[in-house]
Structure 1
């Protein structure tokens, strides 16, 4: 029973979802392979991340989805806008993922002149809101440009009319940038030409234009649509070179006319607006030259008459020079006393400066420094004498204490020996060791103090090569000023003394000094100080 109930009922074929969607797609594409649909754009949001465009076409009763692929969108002459009525050309197909049908658009055009005018009006309002048509952005056209750039077709009558008009009025150097003035690529070429003229460097191999003329002959609204494109309007507004728009006839108005710095009714009118008439300019210049020459002659005559009148009113040379002469004589009489007073004042200032210089001279400062050094030497000698005396006293005190310590140690040894008669050998050995250690410490301290005394004493100084010089009275000679020629002096070195004779001018050289008897250097240690 169950197997029979699972069998299909009827003769209808069984389709899968994919097969059915594919059959519908083929049927729809075969029946409507290429269509033109008129409708209003709805739900337009611009290209998505992939670059494709999705929106809908609708009328009063129906709506159909529309798709423009990325490659087609870049070639469209008319760009889709929300609410714009257009005629779309493409093919009908289905999208299986949503079970819907749609039109793949290949071309797009406005639906009639009314729609095109509405598109231009909306674009004009939008660009005007950005300030591209503001009067304050307009630049002044140069009165007499050296180079004129023309953006137009090189084969049409427009360029011939412009060149002929310029030749009649005022011949100028003309640069032509050839472009297409009609068709899908015309807008991009015109915008590139305007930007190219602005990119030319000043003083380059190709001269940079002083003014640009964008020109085209008359035509229908569709023919002039290239000059209504946003890219052309923005290029004209961004031009740093003054730009003249001469597109169509006088009744034709395009968006580039609003962005240009000057609008000409025709290409010939543009040539008339950018250059003056040379003959009229030369006539005006000649008239101005004549008027200038006459004005200069009249000015010269008037200035000459004024000079004569002023010359008659001027005083004579004697009257002009009398007062300065008297002032000069008075100044001459006052000059000599003033110079004498000035000399005396400067002499006094010089004397004060000389006295100051004497006080600050190197000799005076050297004498003061010598006196200070001598005082420091005396203080140092007294300090060394006091230090040696104190050290001698400390050494004597140390010897006395050492003797007392030895005497005390002998007494302690004797008392300990008497108190411990049962262990005389151990006590004797211990006492001898303690006595030997005490004697060693005392001897080390005495040697250290003796070494310090020897280093501070005069023997150490003399051993380093120094000498003590004394006169006949035994006083130390501390400078050359204390010695006189022929004077006998005594010189003490580390190992003894010897006599010398001070040499003087014109005297016989001194006899060789005989060695004196050697004395104990430590006998008169105070002589160094």
Structure 2
């Protein structure tokens, strides 16, 4: 290869053009590395208006430029984000225009659960900074929704559990929007379902739901990843219809849980949150009606008792009529003679005045006509009186209905407030447990490791042994000679019985102290 750059006169080396040399390098590189998988951290990410994706793959020593063309970028299961570790699959090629090589990426996958969690946490913080998870923007759920929209897979057990629970608690009309709950089509289909329910006309042929439930069963982090996509989170946050997130089991957490108006631990719990129990509502309504009747009866009894008390203060009515009765008795004896004299005088006057009879007849005729006129008017007066009484009863009934509605509304608000308080306390309890248990468990493990390190079993494993006699530990040869039988303990709780059959040798003195024993030992060496 060095001959290519020699410029000696008379050389017969082939002369390459720039394009020929670039093409040769391109063919050599693509032939050696046709399709590769590269693991690294994503660095700079560029998304120009052309739709292509340009980014860097790097480790602690090197950087490789990578590109994903527009058509393939829309089909990537994982969008490249700066700072996450991924495994990129593609083919290595060159870019002659800048004399560099680059990786044409066809697929990107996270390099393990750690990378997914780091990506998830970064996305959560970015969306939270935009205010999508604020409690102030969350809407209250309707107390009794007429139509409930469910976004889930139509073939799973989740929809059956939701429908069964709704049928047991309060039968309600349910609209199902079938979607894929995992895989590449999950995020766009769930987003389209939420937006589609919100786009329905309330007065159209398909009723608009009063509540939306997004549900899925439990699964791994990868299975639930579609509900962590940014499009799904933004669609849930922008929904004008209150939304309940019921994705996974109680321990599973996705980003749609933070953006929804209420999170349910399971799909069945979402159905329980959505509607109340009809039997309990009927019982409460009956109890309220009984209390209303009792209150009206008690008020009537109080008014009647007050009227009775006021009547006692008026005195005996008979005392007022006794003098008049006595006067009537006095004049009754004189009434009959006076009446007869009066009749005779009147008869005499009538006989004397024949014309007076005709006048009396005309007067009677006029009285009769007045009486007939009043008789005709009497039914009308009775009907008007009855109409006024009916209007008064209708007003009282309307007031009673309003009072009952106010009582029911207050009870509903109390239930919602207590339910929110219990939910908040539950979240705090779970968070406190998750925060306090790991450090205490780690401390206990450290103490246990320290106990194992300081225990005598570790010393036995290094080749030592423990000698026990009937009176306890034996720490010298003299004690061993005085003990007829003793026990030796080794590592792993191995034990053996022994007795001092051979006489004990006197201990050898340390050679460093310069004693006679040292000289004797040294002589024995010669």
**Structure 1 residue 72 displacement after superposition:** 1.5
Correspondences of 1:7-406 after superposition (within 5 Å) = 9-44=10-45, 46-309=46-309
- Which deviations, in whole Å up to 9, do the C-alpha atoms of 1:56-96 show, x marking residues without a partner? 11101111111111122222221111112111111000011
* Alpha-carbon distance between aligned partners in 2 of 1:118 and 1:208, rounded to the nearest angstrom: 38
Shift of 1:198: 0.9
Question: In the superposition, relative to structure 1, how do residues 95 and 201 fare at CA in structure 2: closer, same or farther (>3 Å)?
Answer: same
Alpha-carbon distance in 2 for matches of 1:9, 1:54: 47
CA distance, structure 1, for counterparts of residue 280 and residue 209 of structure 2: 24
Offset of 1:7 from its aligned partner? 8.9
1:355 is matched with none
- Between the aligned partners of 2:40 and 2:198, the Cα distance in structure 1 is 42
The residue matched to 2:203 in structure 1 has which SS?
A: coil
Deviation at 1:154, TM superposition (A): 0.8
- Provide structure 2 residue ranges, at least 5 long, that are not aligned to the other structure: 1-6, 316-526
**Partner of 2:40: helix, strand, or coil?**
strand
Structure 1 residues 294, 99: closer, same or farther in 2, change over 3 A?
A: same
TM, length-normalised to structure 1: 0.56
Q: 1:340 maps to what in 2?
A: none
Aligned mates of 1:265, 1:207 — CA distance in 2 = 28
Map Cα deviations across residues 144-187 of structure 1 (whole Å, 9 max, x no partner): 11111000011111111100111111111000011111111211
Counterparts in 2 of 1:26 and 1:165: CA distance versus 1, 3 Å:
same
User: What value does the CA root-mean-square deviation take over the aligned residues?
Assistant: 1.9
Residues 449-491 of structure 1: CA deviation (Å, up to 9, x unaligned): xxxxxxxxxxxxxxxxxxxxxxxxxxxxxxxxxxxxxxxxxxx
Deviation for aligned residue 1:248: 0.5
Question: SS at 2:235's partner residue?
Answer: helix
Aligned residue for 2:286, secondary structure, equals helix
- For 1:72 and 1:311, the matched residues in 2 are separated by 97
Provide Cα deviations, 1:334-370, integer angstroms capped at 9, x if missing partner: xxxxxxxxxxxxxxxxxxxxxxxxxxxxxxxxxxxxx
Distance in 1 between the 2:127 and 2:193 partners?
21
**Mapped partners of 1:199, 1:309: distance in 2:** 67
The DSSP-based 3-state class of the residue aligned with 1:43 is strand
Greater Cα radius of gyration, structure 1 or 2: 1
Question: 1:313 offset after TM fit, Å?
Answer: 7.1
For 1:294-330, what per-residue CA distance to the aligned partner results, in whole angstroms no more than 9, with x for missing partners? Answer: 1221122113333455677799xxxxxxxxxxxxxxx
Task: Describe how 1:437-448 pairs up with structure 2 within 5 A.
Answer: none
Q: 1:363-384: per-residue Cα shift (whole Å, max 9, x none)?
A: xxxxxxxxxxxxxxxxxxxxxx
Point out the more displaced range, 52-61 or 149-158: 52-61
Q: Summarize the Cα distance change of 1:67–1:8 in structure 2 as closer, same or farther, 3 Å threshold.
A: farther
- What residue number does 1:403 align with? none
How many residues are treated as equivalent by the alignment?
309
Q: Please give the alpha-carbon distance, in whole angstroms, between the structure 1 residues aligned to 2:26 and 2:97.
A: 12
| Rounded Cα–Cα distance in structure 2 between residues aligned with 1:122 and 1:20 | 45
259-268 or 293-302, larger mean C-alpha shift? 293-302
